[in-house]
Amino acid sequence: MAVLLLGLPTLVYYFWFCLAHNDGQPMVPQLVMLDDFPLPTASSVMIVAGWLVFQGILQILAPGRTVEGTVLRDGTHLTYKLNGWFAWWFTLAVLAVGMALGLVSPTIAADQLGPLLTTANMFAYPIAAFFWLYGKRFQSDDERVTGNAIGDFWFGTALNPRVAGFDVKFFCESRVGLIAWVVIDLSLAAKQYELHGMVTVPMVLVCAFQFWYVADCFLHEEAILTTWDIKHENFGWMLCWGNLVWLPFTYTIQAQYLVHHIHDLPFWGTVGVILLNAAGYAVFRGANLQKHRFRKCPERPIWGAKPEFIATAKGPLLLASGWWGLARHVNYLGDLLMALAWCLPCLFASPIPYFYVAYLIILLVHRERRDHDSCKLRYGKDWDLYCLKVPYRIVPGLY
Ligand code: NDP
């Protein structure tokens, strides 16, 4: 873990360097790369600080309905204000007005990408350190705290750290990184226009797919409350840095690559990636919604039939029909199909844009194993029964 704490940020810088200074091609890491290390600028510090404050204010003040989260181990619930949909559109509207008035440059995020990366790191580490100590002192989740300083820093010491009622994990998971991802994409598209006088079809596809993905997350914001991260993952460096740095700077790799690579797609290629993305979305959203709705109302028909399920001694029901009868994490398959559709518009001159799909395969295969172990622990024999009924992990008939 100590290696990853330093290695993952180094990897993000490596990609940034290859994309900004090596024509998007991989290269053997060299010390000379340090000559171009992006130092923070006054603008980048103001942007990151302003972004965190602005999104924080929106989370507190924007209108939205208040809902109960899932049951915690002590039997209580936390409440969450679901105002992400408002925050998302309001942020885009404010930026659009700022651009129309000439107050915000459309290419600012693209121009400042390197300094923004360093600044985001400068914020993420102290925030993670603060909540590591805060969790230990005030809200320790004893079951998950190991006493190993590095492990606890990585995984966090509290499940839902809240300061004066402000939920920091929900904020990081569902606001700062997700919206920044799309804003950076759009800025990169504007940069492509500035440099080449056009926005190419591949850039439009990548921006549109990712815009849709994030908008959809906010449209179904309540479903975030039943994800693994919110229910089971403590708030540590992994989630903090992951959302503040990893997500906005690696999920935009395709758009970063396309800024300097002007190519078109054949008509059949354009149609193909749109269909692939649509298929991935149908599986991803269909499966996640099905589980969410089933948990809220187990009688609701699934694909026109009464849902099949495994009742557990612990209480929660395990859905075993619909998408969840095809594979135990078929929702991950949907994400992987979409990830591939986001990479393909970059064509095949460099492997770097494909990092995203490769990373997601590793992440989701590993995540499925972790979730499997944790469900096995929670549900024991009932989980075994479910595994017997639904033998595939992610890809029906294959894996
Ligand atoms: P899930 O939403 O699948 O949540 C897993 C939990 O759901 C389990 O711990 C269990 O919790 C419950 N569960 C498992 N099986 C069943 C069942 N058959 N019926 C009812 N409940 C069940 O996983 P994630 O939170 O990991 O993923 C959510 C979405 O986010 C996925 O689509 C994933 O692809 C996506 N994702 C995307 C990432 C990205 O970077 N693009 C990263 C991570 C996730 P319990 O029983 O305790 O309720």
Per-residue pLDDT of the chain (399 residues), as tens digits, is 788 898 999 999 999 999 999 999 999 999 888 999 999 999 999 999 999 999 999 999 999 999 988 888 778 889 999 999 999 999 999 999 999 999 999 999 999 999 999 999 999 999 999 999 888 777 665 567 777 888 899 999 888 899 988 999 999 998 999 999 999 999 999 999 999 999 999 999 999 999 999 999 999 998 888 888 898 889 999 999 999 999 999 999 999 999 999 999 999 999 999 999 999 999 999 999 999 889 888 999 999 899 999 999 988 899 999 999 999 999 999 999 999 999 999 999 999 999 999 999 999 999 999 999 999 998 999 999 999 999 999 999 989
Q: What integer pLDDT is reported at residue 135 of this predicted model?
A: 81
Q: What integer pLDDT is reported at residue 87 of this predicted model?
A: 97
Closest-lying ligand 1 atom to the alpha carbon of residue 336: 34
Closest-lying ligand 1 atom to the alpha carbon of residue 371: 9
Residue 228, ligand 1, Cβ within 6 A: yes
Q: What integer pLDDT is reported at residue 142 of this predicted model?
A: 58
Residue 318, ligand 1, Cβ within 6 A: yes
Which pair of structure tokens corresponds to residue 253? 């790799």
How far away, in angstroms, is 230 Cα from ligand 1 center?
A: 10
**CA separation, residue 123 to residues 10, 47, 240, 243, 364 (Å):** 16, 12, 10, 12, 27
Residue 356, ligand 1, Cβ within 6 A: no
**Shortest-distance Cα residue to atom 21 of ligand 1:** 318
How far away, in angstroms, is 364 Cα from ligand 1 center?
A: 10
**Shortest-distance Cα residue to atom 10 of ligand 1:** 375
Four-point Cα dihedral 56, 61, 67, 68, nearest 10: 50
Closest-lying ligand 1 atom to the alpha carbon of residue 320: 18
Q: What is the pTM of this model?
A: 0.92
How far away, in angstroms, is 391 Cα from ligand 1 center?
A: 17
What is the rounded CA–CA span in Å between residue 348 and residue 370? 33
* Amino acid at site 80: Y
Q: Which SS3 state, helix, strand or coil, does residue 187 take? A: helix
Pocket test for ligand 1, best of 331, 362, 366 (most atoms within 8 A of CB): 331
What is the rounded CA–CA span in Å between residue 198 and residue 203? 10
Residue 251, ligand 1, Cβ within 6 A: no
What is the rounded CA–CA span in Å between residue 239 and residue 226? 16
Q: What integer pLDDT is reported at residue 139 of this predicted model?
A: 64
Q: What integer pLDDT is reported at residue 140 of this predicted model?
A: 60
Residue 367, ligand 1, Cβ within 6 A: yes
